[in-house]
């Protein structure tokens, strides 16, 4: 349920991708020396009504677009940002300010080159993180049955705004998952990892207020197949201040 968003990457790291993916942005009418531009880079996938866009640390952060020359080097260029919806407006030309709940589409232009629209979720203020159901899960496995990877149920959290008459789910909030403890490992490969499907992932962005990740046990790395458990913590914040902590316990049991 991840929501796509861009972070402020070092210019050199995005140069190659920009030249490859943004062929449609090439234009002879571009400013001198500019061959291509990056997509619009968002500090966050969402923002709160009445507030500015902020980065992961809670600091107000501007929109960005990088421009590249034919050698793939970043060059100075004037970027203009435009909002396509009345849900948000620009302050100082680069800082997005949220006005109404909904979706705010934004584009960036450098000369005659223009990014594709990026959508920012405008939400009510997130103030609570809680588990959607039990925080204790049990997962069995069988060494004799040949199990090598065992995945827990989804460890699901819910982010809400409690300021209204009834709780309201909040989208576009990043929830981070962290393994606090896990069964001992035989070597350097950990026994437990956090996954989204088949991919390693320790964070999720809320959709309909929900975020989740699962714990995957690598049976071959266990020093013992006796009953053991992993403890996983989920956290989220707004403006750099915690809105809650949820701790999950996953018990792995050999059949």
Q: What's the pLDDT tens digit per position in 67-110? A: 999 999 999 999 999 999 999 999 999 999 999 999 999 999 99
CATH 2.60.40.10 domain position(s) in the chain:
128-254
Query: Which CATH superfamily, name and number, covers 128-254?
Result: Immunoglobulins (2.60.40.10)
In the chain, CATH 2.60.40.1080 sits at 11-123
Q: DSSP code of 8?
A: -
Length of the chain: 255
Q: Please tell me the distance from the alpha carbon of residue 105 to that of residue 134, in angstroms, as a whole number.
A: 37
Q: Which residues contact 110 (CB under 8 A, 6 or more apart)?
A: 30, 31, 34, 37, 65, 67, 77, 78, 79, 80
Residue 144 has what pLDDT? Answer: 85
The 8-class DSSP code of residue 222 comes to: B
Q: Is 61 helix (H, G, I), strand (E, B) or coil?
A: coil
Per-residue pLDDT tens for 1-30? 443 333 344 444 444 444 334 433 444 445
- Is the per-residue pLDDT at 137 higher than 90? yes
Over residues 156-184, the mean pLDDT reads: 94
Topology of domain 11-123 in CATH is Immunoglobulin-like (2.60.40)
Q: What is the pTM of this model?
A: 0.83
CA 123, CA 38: separation in Å to the nearest integer? 26
Question: In this structure, is the dihedral angle defined by the CA atoms of residues 129, 132, 136 and 142, taken in order, positive or negative?
Answer: negative
């Amino acid at each position: 349920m991840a929501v796509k968003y861009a972070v402020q990457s070092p210019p050199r790291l995005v140069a190659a991708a920009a030249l490859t993916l943004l062929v449609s942005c090439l234009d002879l009418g571009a400013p001198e020396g500019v061959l291509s531009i990056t997509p619009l880079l968002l500090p966050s996938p969402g923002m709160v009504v009445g507030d500015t866009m902020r980065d992961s640390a809670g600091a107000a952060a501007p929109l960005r677009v990088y421009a590249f020359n034919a050698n793939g080097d970043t060059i100075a260029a004037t970027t203009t940002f435009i909002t396509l919806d009345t849900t948000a407006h620009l302050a100082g030309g680069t800082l997005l300010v949220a006005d109404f709940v909904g979706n705010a589409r934004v584009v960036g232009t450098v000369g005659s080159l223009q990014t594709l629209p990026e959508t920012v979720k405008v939400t009510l203020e997130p103030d609570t993180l809680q588990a959607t159901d039990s925080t204790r899960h049990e997962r069995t496995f069988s060494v004799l049955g040949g199990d090598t990877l065992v995945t827990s149920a989804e460890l699901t959290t819910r982010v809400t705004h409690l300021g209204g008459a009834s709780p309201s789910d909040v989208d576009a909030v990043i929830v981070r998952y962290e393994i606090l403890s896990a069964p001992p490992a035989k070597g350097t490969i950990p026994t437990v990892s956090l996954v989204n499907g088949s991919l390693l992932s320790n964070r999720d962005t809320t959709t309909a207020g929900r975020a989740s990740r699962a714990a995957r046990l690598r049976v071959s790395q266990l020093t013992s197949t006796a009953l053991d458990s992993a403890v996983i913590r989920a956290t989220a914040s707004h403006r750099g201040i915690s809105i809650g902590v949820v701790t999950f316990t996953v018990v792995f049991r050999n059949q």
